[in-house]
A and B are shown apart, each in its own frame.
Chain A
Amino acid sequence: MPITKALETHIDHISILDEHGSFDEALGKDLIPDEDLLKLYQHMVVCRKLDEIAFKLQRSGRMGTFPQNMGQEATSLGAAYMLDDTDWMVTCYRENCGLFWRGLPMEKILQHWMGDERGNQIDRKHYCTPIAVPIGTQMLHATGLAWGAKYRGESQIACTFFGDGATSEGDFHEAMNFAANLDIPVIFFCQNNQWAISVPTSIQCSAPTVAQRGMAYGVECLQCDGNDIFAVAWCMKKAIESARDHNRPVFIEAVTYRLGDHTTADDARRYRDEEEVALWQSRDPLKRMRTFLESKGLWNDAQQAELDEHAEATVTAAVERAESIETPSRDDIFNWTFADIPEQIATQRDTMRTTSIGQDPSQIASEQATTQA
């Protein structure tokens, strides 16, 4: 018998506004109205300003470790822009721009990285899950959240975000397998930023694309220029349709770049070339957007100066709010472990500064002596 092909396929790559300013009218026309473009650009500038100020806060000892979002603003923002406000955003920790679009107060993010769990006490009206520190585990939660909505007959879907490194984790594969085989409406959004701390994508995936990982599970796959908010929006539109209307998961690989260090605890100069960073700086999503807006006569230097001022004021005010929040009560260590605090935890809370935690004082001789005296 002749050899036949068991599978022949391809993955679309979407680019609409490239780094040279070329705009694909056929794909990009009417995708994002001009007034929204301006708002999106403003969000990116404010988010970039947060990175700058957060870095200084960390260096001056006013905040703990912080992961900058620099260079990746268009990915989560483009996704959040296209989702409904009641669709779940199940993020990791480099999606600030999208979260701010959802209305999550900036001081919440600051409060979290300032070491206060209340930063993750996110109002459910935002439909955003807490910052996920362990890598590549939250995709399963997204799958469950979307599954619950589907079970109840709601039209809500979930979009989960993760990096290229997370696609090496088993939970990523289990989540795609569950979503595909059980028809659960999830969008898997990979921010391929080329680096997992110091390890390049080639160590995570030796196939030509990360996107094709979805194919093995029967998931529709797309790749786009992640620094091009139009391309992100285009992919999201298609993915939302598949998820919402057909309960089919979609995998999007947004190719982007982490312009900053992994976190403020990292120094990327130890492991990557300056030329590579310079190349990606030329592809910066903010620069690209500004040039495009200027070319359309929607933006000028005066507006930029005003926006820069607004960004500085917005972030400074958020920092002030975050820093003015009182330190949590030490009882909070105990009080959130369960809905009803078991007696043993209550005893530990109430005796945490004594040497006889959990003991019956009547047993202690010196105590008896004191009582008798």
Chain B
Amino acid sequence: MANLTLVQAINLALVQEMEKDERVMILGEDVGLNGGVFRVTEGLFNRFGGDRVIDTPLAESGIIGTSIGLAMSGQRPVPEIQFEGFLGPAYDQICSHAARMRTRTRSAFTVPMTIRVPVGGGIHAPELHSDSPEAIYAHQPGLKVVMPASPYDAKGLLISAIRDPDPVIFFEPKRIYRAFREEVPEDEYTVPIGKARTVCEGEELTIVSWGASVVQCMQAIERSNDSIELIDLRTIYPIDMDAIEASVKKTGRCVIVHEAPRTSGFGAEIATQIMERCFLHLEAPVQRVAGFDTIMPYYKLETEYLPDADRIEKAINEIRAY
């Protein structure tokens, strides 16, 4: 066991998978000698060499497009897109090819690729360095979308993603890259894709969240006198609705918390599925605490935008009043 940050846990997962499987290659902008702008790939270039840890030209579509070819040829590429705001140029390759290749060729060609992407706000970064586009990719059939909220899960989920036979977008909440440490086993282990985690159990209300917002949910729960269950989704798609259903049927109340814009955010999907599965068990309407239908503000106002413990607490109180 070692007490690691999320960055260190991801680095450890990469090291172990690269040692175990020669097919694994890392490519992206500044991932080599520099170790990535967040130092997630630190030390890998010296350890595994320039053939396996590759500084590419500055072109996101190129990074993903060549990774698709590498994956089709039998490699296990782990490309990094430096910030979620730069996924745009790679969108076509991700959604027109990576997501569709298995269906298009009836499995003659597949794309086992893990796209690592730092995501979300809260680090006082410039424009297009603080967005939360997970719902966009969850809406694209053929992609798995993962977002850990703790160092332990980050390591186990990344190993699962690299071994997965299909393309995975692995979102890393940059706000908690170094926010706290956690005991992380040095041995390899996996956390399954598609399974949520119950962070704390409760009887009166369920909070569903993912990524960095899980921390704010915990703060709100600590302030509250209610018995609240917190579910960290861990995987956005495929979603673990069974876990949510079991919890909401028990509590009858649910608040969904995410950083991404409210309208058509992934919370909307969850709320609908709760209605489909738990309608007769609901004591109150499902509440959402989310970002707004606006462009993510520059950092002077970003804390106004991000869901915080106050807003979550308000939502809890409102639906407890039903």
Indicate if the CB atoms of B273 and A175 lie closer than 8 Å. no
Binds A, one of B59-67, B148-156, B207-215, B218-226: B59-67
Min Cβ gap A273→B in Å is 35
A336 touching B107 by the CB < 8 A rule?
A: yes
Q: Which of A135-176 contact B (CB under 8 A)?
A: 137, 139-149, 151-152, 158, 170-171, 174-175
A174/B57 in contact, CB under 8 A: yes
B1 interface residue, CB < 8 Å from A? no
Scoring A144, A152, A174, A345 by chain B CB atoms within 10 A of each residue's CB, the highest score goes to: A144
State the main secondary structure of chain A at its contact with B: helix
Contact A137 B102 (CB under 8 A): no
* Size bin of chain A's contact surface: 35 or more
The docked-state distance in angstroms from the alpha carbon of A171 to that of B89 is: 10
> Which A residues, 328 to 345, have Cβ-Cβ distances below 8 Å to chain B?
332, 336-340, 342-345
- B68 interface residue per 8 A CB criterion: yes
Whole-angstrom CA separation of A151 from B67 in the bound complex = 13
Question: Is A23 engaged at the interface, CB distance under 8 Å to the other chain?
Answer: no
Kindly list chain B residues whose C-beta atoms are within 8 Å of the C-beta of A144: 65-73, 77
| Complex CA distance for A134 and B92, rounded to whole angstroms | 9
B residues adjacent to A (C-beta < 8 A): 25, 51, 54, 56-57, 59, 61-62, 64-75, 77, 89, 92-93, 96-97, 101-110, 141-142, 144, 165-166, 194, 237-239, 241-242, 273, 276-277, 279-280
Of B69, B74, B238, the contact of A141 (CB 8 Å cutoff): B69
B62/A177 in contact, CB under 8 A = yes
Inter-chain contact A343/B66, CB cutoff 8 Å: no
A138–chain B nearest beta-carbon distance, Å = 8
Fill in one digit per residue for A108-123: 1 if any B CB lies within 8 Å of its CB, else 0.
0000000001101111
5 contacting pairs across A/B (C-beta < 8 A): A140-B64, A144-B73, A145-B72, A149-B73, A170-B61
Residues in A with CB closer than 8 Å to B25 are 151
- A339–B97 Cα distance when bound, in Å, is 16
User: Which of A141, A147, A358 has the most B CB atoms < 10 Å from its CB?
Assistant: A141
Selected from A117, A178, A338, the residue in CB contact (under 8 A) with B66 is: A178
CB distance from B19 to the nearest CB of A (A): 17
17 more CB-based (< 8 A) A-B contacts, given A137-B92, A144-B73, A151-B51:
A122-B108, A129-B72, A130-B108, A130-B109, A134-B92, A140-B62, A140-B64, A143-B66, A143-B69, A144-B71, A147-B73, A151-B75, A152-B74, A174-B57, A174-B62, A344-B241, A359-B277
Residues of the A chain whose Cβ atoms lie less than 8 Å from the Cβ of B107: 121, 336, 339
Q: Is the CB of B277 within 8 A of A117?
A: no
A140 adjacent to B61 (CB under 8 Å): yes
A residues less than 8 Å from B56 (CB atoms): 178, 182
Is A282 an interface position by the 8 A CB rule?
A: no
Nearest residue in A to B141 (C-beta to C-beta)?
A337
B97–A137 contact, CB under 8 A?
yes
Partner of A342, one of B71, B75, B93, B194: B194
